[in-house]
């Protein structure tokens, strides 16, 4: 009989090696390789006496399909991110930093569904039942009929869930604490996480229950463990926030049944998380419109328009290598905008420290923020105050040209709703949105040099930007 060879699996990327080594050659992480049983590892051979497969019934694309209606939680922001509610039989993965409020959000969702008569099961592998009850009492949810369990064996959990009425929602907190007795590995390893997730997914697909898996995150904000779990589930949600701010954001990173990059905004209070119906007003609250270096971006998060303030501080640097600090935006994008302003607008930032911040702790990733960031930088460098009733959006190319962005009409409507009366927008493509918000005066900008000249000369009352002509209705 041949000797069984050990298998070593990286817990970060899932790569398999034949020997232990300190650094994974695939992902470059240190001390992530763990020995696992070959019978349950990746690439294991089939067991002796295995049952042969059966012939499956295949169907064509044509045919009548009646999907079950979505299950709404009663929390509008959560339903918005999931695409209108939970799809029966779907599996979702929720990640977030420790203490951000994942358990609070899920407990509130469970209570809201239980109060509407649905069966909800909350399985905790990290907390005891009395600890979960204490949180429910603090949130005022002790009266909700939520079924609680403290368990980590996935076979016991699935057997319990199959008893009685089918649950509408099952919470597994967290997937890294679960283990299966048929897998010879420690809880949290790649094999255990993959096997337990597969067992829960199989239960969800066969029973029609919605399963929500809670995942730990690494220091980089990514869900811990192999990315294979993210590929297995139907939706990946990220609960984000800053401990120095009182609001939290639920973002859809992947969604097979709805829009990706959709966000829901919550405010953390003493009684838990409350929904924020108008997040733009929250992010703009308390802004100083009379200070230079502040521009309002009309951005988009998924299908939701969002107004945020982009702040810039450009100050002379006593250092040989000036600082470049960015909060809430891409640092490489800032370097590109600074280089374009120097090359095509004649401005000099080489001897200045540059600090850029997105107010409120929101992180912006879309290129439409280029124009607002450039306006804030030029305003801080020149000391000119930007118009308090103006919003900015547009992508800046390496040639200095301002390029159009998507959903311009939605951006203008959101700005008009909050009382803004001017919008600095790209010159090209204005025909598609110039009638979206009649109350807003459109100022077109075709090149970054035009924007810089308008800001520098604004103190002297000289206007360089050209108002966009409007077509008559009909």
Tell me the pLDDT tens digit for each residue of 277-317: 888 988 888 888 889 999 999 999 888 899 999 999 999 99
Whether the pLDDT of residue 53 is over 60: the answer is: yes
**CA gap 383, 377 in Å, rounded:** 10
- Residue 218 above 60 pLDDT? yes
Quickly tell me which residue has 């997730």 as its tokens: 197
Contacts of 55 (CB under 8 A, 6+ apart): none
Tokens of 264: 């829901």
Tokens representing residue 190 in the block: 């790649």
pLDDT digits (tens, 9 = 90+) for 150-197: 999 999 999 999 998 999 999 999 898 999 988 888 888 888 888 999
| CA–CA dist 260, 265 (Å, integer) | 15
pLDDT value at 439 more than 60: yes
* Dihedral angle computed from the Cα positions of residues 357, 361, 367 and 370, in that order, rounded to the nearest 10 degrees: -20
Q: Which residues of 19-53 are buried (b: 16+ CB within 10 A; e: fewer)?
A: eeeeebeeeeeeebbbebeeebbbeeeeeeeeeee
Q: Give the per-residue pLDDT at 460.
A: 52
pLDDT level of residue 50 (50, 70, 90 thresholds): low
Cis peptide before 174 (omega within 30 of 0): yes
Domain positions in the chain: 1-41, 76-277, 282-467
Of these ranges, 34-48, 187-201, 363-377, the one predicted with the greatest mean pLDDT is 363-377
pLDDT more than 70, % of the chain: 89
Higher pLDDT, 355 or 66: 355
Cα torsion for 251, 252, 258, 263, to the nearest 10°?
Answer: 10
Sort residue 172 into left (φ over 0), alpha (ψ -120 to 50) or beta. Answer: beta
More confident: 406 or 32: 406
Kindly state which CATH superfamily the domain 76-277 is placed in: P-loop containing nucleotide triphosphate hydrolases (3.40.50.300)
Mean pLDDT across the stretch 31-36?
82
Separation of CA 415 from chain center: 23
Whether 91 shows a pLDDT value over 90: the answer reads yes
Banded model confidence at residue 226, pLDDT cuts 50, 70, 90: low
pTM summary value: 0.77
CATH class of 282-467: alpha beta
CA dist 155 and 152 (Å) reads: 9
CA atoms lying within 13 Å on the CB side of residue 337: 29
In angstroms, the Cα distances linking 308 to 203, 284, 418 are 42, 6, 12
Task: Give 244-278 pLDDT, tens digit per residue.
Answer: 778 888 999 899 988 887 889 998 888 889 998 88
Q: State phi, psi for 443 to the nearest 5 degrees.
A: -115, 115
pLDDT at 282: 82
Band of pLDDT at residue 141, cut at 50, 70 and 90: very high
Q: What's the rounded Cα separation, in Å, for the pair 100 and 107? A: 14
For residue 462, name the pLDDT band (cuts at 50, 70, 90): very low
Residue among 200, 191, 165 at smallest CA distance from 214? 200
Average pLDDT of the chain is 86
């Amino acid at each position: 009989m041949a000797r069984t060879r050990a298998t070593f699996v990286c817990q970060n990327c899932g790569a398999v090696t034949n020997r232990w080594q300190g650094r994974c050659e695939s992902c470059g992480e240190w001390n992530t390789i763990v020995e696992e049983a070959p019978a349950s590892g990746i690439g294991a051979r089939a067991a002796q006496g295995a049952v042969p497969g059966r012939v499956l019934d295949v169907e064509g694309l044509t045919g009548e399909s009646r999907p079950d209606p979505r299950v709404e939680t009663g929390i509008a922001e959560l339903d918005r991110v999931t695409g209108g509610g939970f799809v029966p039989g779907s599996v979702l993965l929720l990640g977030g930093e420790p203490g951000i409020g994942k358990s609070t959000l899920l407990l509130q969702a469970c209570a809201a569904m239980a109060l509407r008569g649905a069966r909800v099961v909350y399985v905790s592998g990290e907390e005891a039942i009395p600890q979960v009850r204490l949180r429910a009492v603090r949130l005022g949810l002790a009266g909700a009929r939520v079924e609680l369990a403290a368990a980590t064996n996935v076979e016991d959990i699935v057997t319990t869930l199959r008893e009685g009425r089918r649950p509408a929602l099952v919470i597994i907190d967290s997937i890294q604490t679960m283990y299966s007795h048929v897998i010879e590995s420690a809880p949290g390893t790649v094999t255990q996480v993959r096997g337990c997730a597969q067992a829960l997914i199989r239960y969800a697909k066969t029973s029609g229950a919605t399963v929500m898996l809670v995942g730990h995150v690494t220091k980089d904000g990514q869900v811990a463990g192999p990315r294979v779990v993210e590929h297995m589930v139907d939706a990946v949600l990220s609960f984000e926030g800053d401990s120095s701010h009182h609001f939290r954001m639920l973002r859809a990173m992947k969604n097979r049944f709805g829009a990706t990059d959709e966000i829901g905004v919550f405010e953390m209070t003493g009684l838990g998380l409350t929904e924020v119906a108008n997040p733009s007003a929250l992010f703009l609250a308390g802004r100083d419109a009379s200070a230079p270096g502040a521009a309002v971006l009309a951005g988009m998060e998924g299908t939701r328009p969002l107004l945020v303030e982009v702040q810039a501080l450009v100050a002379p640097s006593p250092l040989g290598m000036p600082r470049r600090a960015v909060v809430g935006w891409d640092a490489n994008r800032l370097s590109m905008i600074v280089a374009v302003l120097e090359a095509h607008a004649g401005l000099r930032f080489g001897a200045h420290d540059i600090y850029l911040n997105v107010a409120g702790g929101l992180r912006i990733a879309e290129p439409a923020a280029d124009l607002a960031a450039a306006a804030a930088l030029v305003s801080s460098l020149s000391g000119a105050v930007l118009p308090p009733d103006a919003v900015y959006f547009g992508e800046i190319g390496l040639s200095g040209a301002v390029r159009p962005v998507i959903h311009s009409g939605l951006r203008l409507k959101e700005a008009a709703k909050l009382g803004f009366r001017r919008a600095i927008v790209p010159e090209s493509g204005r025909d598609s949105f110039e009638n979206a918000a009649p109350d807003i005066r459109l100022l077109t900008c075709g090149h970054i040099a035009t924007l810089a000249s308008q800001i520098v000369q604004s103190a002297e009352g000289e206007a360089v930007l050209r108002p966009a002509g409007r077509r008559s209705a009909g």
